[in-house]
Structure 1
Amino acid sequence: MSSPLRNSPQSILTMLRWLLLLIPLALVVGSLNALFLYLLEWASDTRALKPYLLYFLPLAGVLVVFIYRRFGKNAEAGNNLIIDEIHQPGAGIPARMAPLVLLSTVVTHLFGGSAGREGTAVQIGGACSAAYGRFFKLSGHDYQILLSAGVAAGFAALFSTPLAATVFALEVLAVGRIRFDSVIPALFAAILADLVCTAWGTPHTQYKVDFLEHVMLFHHLVHVDLLLLGKVLLASIAFGIAGFLFGETTFIFKDLFKHTLKNPYLIAVVGGLIVIAIVSLIGHQDYVGLGVNAYREGGVSIISAFSEGGAEWYSWILKLLLTAITLAAGFKGGEVTPLFFIGATLGNFLAWVMGAPVDLFAALGFIAVFAAATNTPLACTIMGVELFGSEHLLYFAVACFVAYFFSGHTGIYSSQRIAVPKSSNLATHEATLGEIRAANSRFVAWLNKRTQQK
């Protein structure tokens, strides 16, 4: 049996090696994400001041498609390319992915696409770490670890949640399994990138849950309200279904556009026109862009969802629909911030229905819908603590894990693999979510049948 003391010098040297390797990477990733956040804030403010920019969204879509077709190479695959490369290095992640996704995401938000920002941050981290690994001629296991560290760095810099970012980078690779072999480098990268991004003065949204509970049972103070826990359980099922609907709706629109319109430029134009039509019918632009802050009096946003009357019952549906169309049409950004919006506004509505604390349920929806759509319940539970405090950790965990279970074997990352199925009726291990969906989707089967008949 080897002694821990005997292995300590080697372990210390390994940690120092990774720390020295990751400092320059974190500096670059943190700085690029700081630049990205400033540009994104400029784009959002500019669109709010000039709402007519929305009507140029189809042209912006054509520009994004042209950029990727002309310069993108395999960068079009986005987050799925990074996940595939961590699982099985070989395809390669081009360094151009970072500037391309940064530019195209800013264009998407400037002209009113409904998208997020997490995809951009993760791709910046993945592209930088891949280029860094090639420069230092890292290969095999070290290269895979470096890519996970890059994902953690990008996520942490964007949301200022280094612990959640670390777990996310390890948990997102496969459903039901976490690879702890990358945990130390990922943690180092996440902490350092967050520090760098924050040091640039980058604004991060602050959230607050004021609800406090003091529950007595048989004249004794207890730590959980059973009635409230029951409400959380019911809401969590709804959060899981919402996460499922988001992923499936996005893929349905992608399949529909691909089989009917086919031409990527035409898809971008039609997708942009559909967004414009829906927004025109709504009468305001609350449901495009990031949606973190409201840009009109009484507008709906993630922040407003934490207050009574801060969202309509249908707010989450409109955001889900507009984001699915935007991403399916080829615009760039991410899904996570829209998932925050969907979850927070759905939580606001469910709190009203159940007579529950609005701010707590908005926070639960915020993290639980994200957990359901990405199959990362542990990372999202930790994110709840980092964003909202530890007072309601139990409810955070219940919401995230129940939502994760009820979302089924679906998710927004088609390259995720099934390591441990959520239910015993799925015998396929190590299949990707994309493969499972392609094999089981009746909609895809119907589209393929129609295509063959033509």
Structure 2
Amino acid sequence: MNKTAQIKKNYQFIKYQKLIVVSILIGFLSSFLAISLKRLTEHYEEIFFDKANENWVYFLIFPAFGLSIIYLLRHYLFKKKENKGIREIFDTTAQRKNSLPIYKIPSHFINGLITVIFGGSTGIEVSTVVASATIGSIAQEKENLFNRHKTELICAGVAAGITALFCSPFAGILFAWEVISKKTSKIFFMTSGIAVAVALGFIYFLDEKSLLTVTITGWHWQAIPYFILLGIIAGMNSVYLTKCVLFFKRSFGKIEKHPYRIFIGAFLLSGSILLLPQLYGEGYHALKENILLSNDLTLTVTFAVTCIGIIILKPIVTSATLAAGGDGGVFAPSIFIGGFIGLLLAICLNKFFHANVIPLNFMILGMGAMLSASIHAPFTAIFLTCGLINDYSLFIPIFIVCMVAKYTAKRIYPFTVYSYQPKSI
């Protein structure tokens, strides 16, 4: 072996060695951040929601207070720099010279937490994704050897963060591929795989549980036409969600004074939560309650009006939250809306067509279908949904609804909230 070849071999060995070490570090920090944010949010959201249920006045106060605190923090602590969600990651990976500044970690962590616990109708998933991506971006900047692998290290952080949130390693890696990178390489699999493995170890060490505790009794092949119908409906609703978010961001962007944005956003949010408390925060509390009751529910006027109200209002209050300055995205709202679409459809099918479908199954399938259509990432949605319930019994039905929902949405409207370019407005 000549001297040049030996030098090249040593360089590659050192590079891979350092990539392994930094991937372990990214995996640990990203999963620690994700689980910390998740536990803090769940704890305080429950406390604040219970307080508001005891005294409805808090439903009026909390959203305005939360959005105002975020505005003040952004104005005085984070130097008036707004968070743009996953779009920030795209801007960073598009050009090598771009990077995610370190303040994005506390900014998204704190603002995501405050948004949800004070009733902002979104979730912490996007806050976690951007903060985790920032960890990867910072790691890349610290070592010249990593200059060509910024995207891979950002994806490693994202994959570990999603894995920690949903206890699903496949969802973490697939989200990093389908949404962030859109391509794979040997380095991508190595860095993301190591980061996800560390996140999994962290999950087991802390005994993290899946979000939803359910018992799946099986499914029937005769229900496949109904799965397809659910996928189509979810795909159509995802377009409604996407267009709501884009419309509100465009409309609120025309309001020059930010306090006016907060007032309008808080007014819409508070009024909707007063009508339907299920819209408070992430909404997972409402999903869990209905999952427990799903197989015993019957079609009544109250039930139908509640479900329809949730399906119509959730995109509006999510959009108002984000446009008024709240931190988050469409991840949790998609899961929430999809669950109620599936539940309402199943009960209607059983009532009017004697379909004998299982409402619980349709709730789970609806979550995956809506998420798949909203972010155009069916494989992420498939494995994330299975991770939500820690059960793969519904893998085939979930696969069907996710594919149908994604292509239905794409056929109607080719963009997501993440891929839409503001200059096209």
TM over 0.5: yes
How far apart are 1:9 and its partner, in Å?
Answer: 11
Aligned with 1:141 (options 144, 148, 151): 148
Q: Which amino acid aligns with 2:237?
A: A
Q: Does 1:118 align with 2:137?
A: no
Aligned pair 1:42/2:43, yes or no? yes
> Is 1:411 the equivalent of 2:416?
yes
- Residue matched to 1:206: 212
Give 2:393's aligned residue.
391
TM-score, length-normalised on structure 1? 0.79
- The percent identity for this pair of structures is 21
Residue 62 in structure 1 maps to residue 68 in structure 2: yes
Conserved 8 A contact 2:295-2:358: no
SS of the residue corresponding to residue 277 of structure 2 reads coil
Deviations 1:167-205 (A, max 9, x none): 11011037xx54345123112212212322452354542
1:286-297 equivalences in 2 (<5 Å): 286-294=278-286
- Say yes or no: does 1:337 pair with 2:324: no
Partner residue, 2:5: none
The one-letter amino acid of 2:338's match is G
**How does 1:262-273 map onto structure 2 within 5 Å?**
262-273=256-267
> Could you give the per-residue CA deviations for residues 88-109 of structure 1, whole angstroms, max 9, x where no partner exists?
2333201111111111122112
Partner of 2:239: 244
For the 8 Å contact 2:382–2:402, the answer to whether it is kept is yes
| 1:288 and 1:319 in contact (8 A); partners too | no
* 3-state SS of 1:172 partner: helix
Equivalence map 1:9-20=2 (5 Å) = 17-20=18-21
What is the alpha-carbon distance in structure 2 between the residues aligned to residue 29 and residue 253 of structure 1?
Answer: 31
Name which of 318, 321, 339 aligns with 1:326.
Answer: 321
Q: 1:426 aligns to what?
A: none
SS in 2 for 1:320: helix
Do 2:22 and 2:139's aligned partners in 1 also have CA atoms closer than 8 Å?
Answer: no
Contact 2:334-2:370 within 8 A present in 1 as well: yes
Shift in Å at residue 148 of structure 1? Answer: 0.9
| Count of aligned pairs between the two proteins | 394
Alpha-carbon deviation of 1:118?
Answer: 0.5
Is residue 367–residue 381 contact of structure 1 (8 Å, CA) maintained in 2? yes
Asked whether the equivalents of residues 371 and 377 of structure 1 are also in contact (C-alpha less than 8 Å), the reply is: yes
- Write out per-residue CA displacement over residues 55-104 of structure 1, whole angstroms, 9 at most, x where no aligned residue: 14223212212322341565612221112212323332011111111111
In the alignment, the residues of structure 1 paired with residue 70 and residue 102 of structure 2 have an alpha-carbon distance, to the nearest angstrom, of 18
- Larger helix proportion, structure 1 or 2? 2
The 3 A distance-change label for structure 1 pair 377 and 119 is same
Q: Output the CA distance in 1 between the equivalents of 2:219 and 2:62.
A: 49
Deviation (angstroms), 1:42 = 2.2
One-letter amino acid of the counterpart of residue 275, structure 1: L
TM-score, normalised via structure 2 length: 0.84
**Pairing 1:208-227 to 2, within 5 Å after superposition:** 208-213=214-219, 225=221, 227=222
Write the mapping of 1:328-407 to structure 2, written as runs, cut at 5 A: 328-355=323-350, 356-388=357-389, 389-407=391-409
Which ranges of structure 2 fall in alignment gaps of 5 or more residues? 1-8, 351-356
Cα-to-partner distance string for 1:397-426 (whole Å, 9 max, x where unaligned): 111111111112121213xxxxxxxxxxxx
CA 1:164–1:61 in 2, change beyond 3 Å: closer, same or farther?
same
1:345 and 1:305 map into 2 onto residues whose CA distance is 12
Tell whether the 8 Å contact from 2:23 to 2:194 is kept in structure 1 after alignment: yes
What is aligned with 1:235? 230
Per the TM alignment, residue 125 of structure 1 is displaced from its structure 2 partner at its CA by 0.7
Mapping of residues 296-307 of structure 1, within 5 Å? 303-304=291-292, 306-307=294-295
Give the Cα separation in 1 of the matches to 2:342 and 2:369. Answer: 10
Residue from 434, 437, 443 that aligns with 2:421: 434
Aligned to 1:278: 272
In structure 1, distance between residues paired with 2:72 and 2:196:
33
1:274 to 1:385, Cα distance in 2 relative to 1, 3 A: closer
- Give the counterpart letter for 1:267 in structure 2: R
Q: Distance in 1 between matches of 2:288 and 2:201?
A: 31
Cα shift at 1:13: 7.7
Tell me, yes or no, if structure 1 residue 309 matches structure 2 residue 314.
no
